[in-house]
Amino acid sequence: MPSSIEDRLRIELAERSYDIIVGRNLIGRPEAFSALRAGRHAVVVTNATVDPLYGNALVGSLRQRFTNIERVVLADGEEHKDWSTLQHIFDALLGSGADRQTTLFALGGGVIGDMTGFAAACFMRGVPYVQVPTTLLAQVDSSVGGKTAINHPLGKNMIGAFYQPKLVVSDLDTLRTLPDRELIAGLAEVIKYGPIADIAFFEWIEAHLEALLERDPEALAFAVLHSCRLKARVVEQDERESGLRAILNFGHTFGHAIEAGLGYGQWLHGEAVGCGMVMAADLSLRLGLISPASSLRIRSLVEKAGLPVRCPPLGADRYLELMHLDKKAEGGDLRFVVLEALGRARLERVSERLVADVIDAHSR
């Protein structure tokens, strides 16, 4: 574990390369944003929960680089990650006289980051944006890699674009004000990296889970930075998810079906992914790829983190209907990220019968 709790990581994507900065009190430090080109206009997109906590600090830091700074404050929650909220962002941009030099700042969790990034990708066919994630889940996953989207009633993140930010500023101090449920949900995306890419990191999480739950600053700093490092390694090889990047969706096919089936916002994304990882591990076991001990080890860690390990009883038919709308489905076939071993994953076509067996075994 590093002694420092402030680090910088570079994502190498040719002309789309950018830095991820991880540290303390970054939102309130103008120098954290010094790499950005100074400009006339900036728009901070945030929500009603985050704005009172960090909105003024971010605006204060940006005043050294931007002449005019405005805020767009959205309703909080996954259920608002839709067309009408996206339209509200566009209305604000057009109403404020935004142009192609306007920079957007996403101050919030994954919902704000996804919607701001998608708005930036679409407005005038692309304007610069910066991610300032304030949740653990956003810091370790959704703020990195340029996947932006909104939800559709039939499927999560089905409408979006690949569009990289200019900078990611992850202020660990924001995790102090994060509700326990949100922190635990974020741990699901931290845990994910171990089974798919790094067995040593999985073992580190097992050994330091209590410290993470207690919000130990050095433990959180290491978890955020190493998660970003692992994701960067994948994104650099497969920016647009044509192959390798799909492994980052471990547990997500089950998880997205849970979210869509219940109605967005009933379960947090990380809660659904946590349960989905347990189900995906069981699927890997049933395919003869991993041992019962490995499957149980994943379930144990997810459960000790405080995440659900049993899915809502929506019925296998409903789950399968939703899964056929998943982005990884191809030619009518269901495809899942499965484990070849702890620390190694692949994408696999799986029969509906086997998936239904997993759903039935894990339904509450």
Which tens digits make up the pLDDT trace of 310-337? 999 999 999 999 999 887 777 778 999 9
> Kind and range of the H or E element at 257?
helix 252-262
Residues classed as catalytic: 125, 147, 189, 231, 241, 245, 249, 252, 256, 269
Res 327: pLDDT: 75
Res 4: pLDDT: 43
Res 1: pLDDT: 41
Residue 314 burial (CB count, 10 A):
17
* Residue finishing a domain among 151, 176, 201: 176
Q: What is the CATH number of the domain that holds 157?
A: 3.40.50.1970
Q: Are residues 141 and 222 in the same domain?
A: no
Please state, in angstroms and rounded to a whole number, the distance separating the CA atoms of residues 60 and 54.
Answer: 10
Which residue ranges in the chain fall short of pLDDT 50? Answer: 1-5
Domain that holds residue 292: 180-362
Res 332: pLDDT: 78
Of the candidates 124, 111, 133, 128, the residue with the CA atom closest to the CA atom of residue 163: 128
Q: Are residues 23 and 131 in the same domain?
A: yes
* Residue finishing a domain among 133, 155, 176: 176
Res 136: pLDDT: 97
Our count of domains for the chain comes to 2
CA 270 to chain centre: 9
Structure tokens at 216: 């130990």
Q: Are residues 185 and 142 in the same domain?
A: no
Q: Are residues 65 and 26 in the same domain?
A: yes
Res 207: pLDDT: 98
In this prediction the pTM is 0.93
Alpha carbon separation from 253 to 6, 49, 188 (Å, rounded): 34, 29, 14
pLDDT digits (tens, 9 = 90+) for 203-246: 999 999 999 999 999 999 999 999 999 999 999 998 888 788 89
DSSP 203-220: HHHHHHHHHHHTT-HHHH
Does the residue 2 lie in any domain? no
Pairing relation of β-strands 334-341 and 155-162? unpaired
Q: Are residues 134 and 232 in the same domain?
A: no
* Residue finishing a domain among 176, 191, 213: 176
